[in-house]
Amino acid sequence: MSEVDDLRRDVALANRILERLGLSSAFGHASARIAGTNTFLLPTRRSPGLAQADNLLVLDTEGRIVAGEGEPNSEFWIHARLYAARTDVGGVVHAHPPACVCLTQIGQPHRVLHNQGGIFAGGVPEYSRIGLIRSRELGDLVAMTLGQGIATMMRGHGITTAFPDVRSATVAACYLEESAALQLRMLSAAGGDASKLQPYTREEAEFLRDQVSGNVAKRAWEYFAAVAEATPIGGGQR
């Protein structure tokens, strides 16, 4: 099996993880750059829960379909322009996870409040403009908001993560949603008083920043993949 075949399997699985783990329902998508090129694998315009390795499209950073049958997901510009802006990025996830969406609408920035949140020590900038990313210009705006970081939260919309590979981008998306869900619970337990929370200091958070690298990422991916394979479509918690 070729490297691209392996990548196709990873991309399809990453998409199913997004749906099975409750980060997306009918919408959302994960992609991966074909190494050493300006092209990437992206599912057709369906729920990520329906993605299969043999029905992915190949697009380039100008948003052109290079190979495959069908129409891409309408927010393909997020992926195209992030790969254009960042040669270090090999995997991108865009999803609409509920806890992250809630957090963008209560005036609270993402905070590092538990260990798995440590990877976001550099901050999660917010993309405040509402609506879908259906143009090259808006794709560039998302890439600019994310900058050299690893994630952005998009107001009333969702999240985008960008990593060297699609597995890490997917694991990080799951961590970001877990982190946002815990932040909401902590805020609620604290009567909505954010000053009662005890965010990790920058130093503490930096200490935990390797949560999506090496063996930790491998173990997380293995688990999320197993859950995705064992869960029927629509069976994820939201």
| Minimal distance, residue 33 CB to Zn ion, in Å | 20
CB nearer to Zn ion: pick between 138 and 212: 138
**Closest separation in Å from C-beta 154 to Zn ion:** 7
152: closest CA among 110, 204, 207, 108? 110
CB of 207 to Zn ion, least distance (A): 33
- Residue placing its CB nearer to Zn ion in the complex, 141 or 186: 141
When the beta carbons of 130 and 190 are compared against Zn ion, the nearer one is: 130
Kindly state the smallest distance separating residue 222's Cβ from Zn ion, in Å.
Answer: 27
Phi/psi of residue 186, nearest 5 degrees: -65, -40
Footprint (CB under 5 A) of Zn ion, residues 53-82: 75
Residue with tokens 């990548």: 7
Alpha-carbon distance 27 to 216, whole Å?
A: 28
* Edge-to-edge strands, sheet with 29-33: 65-67, 56-60, 39-43, 29-33, 91-95, 158-163, 151-154, 126-127
The answer to whether 139 touches 78, Cβ cutoff 8 Å, is yes
**Segment 122 to 151, residues that bind Zn ion, using CB under 5 A:** none
**Which of residues 134 and 219 has its CB atom nearest to Zn ion in the complex?**
134
How many residues of this chain interact with Zn ion, rule: CB under 5 A? Answer: 1
Binding site for Zn ion (CB under 5 A): 75
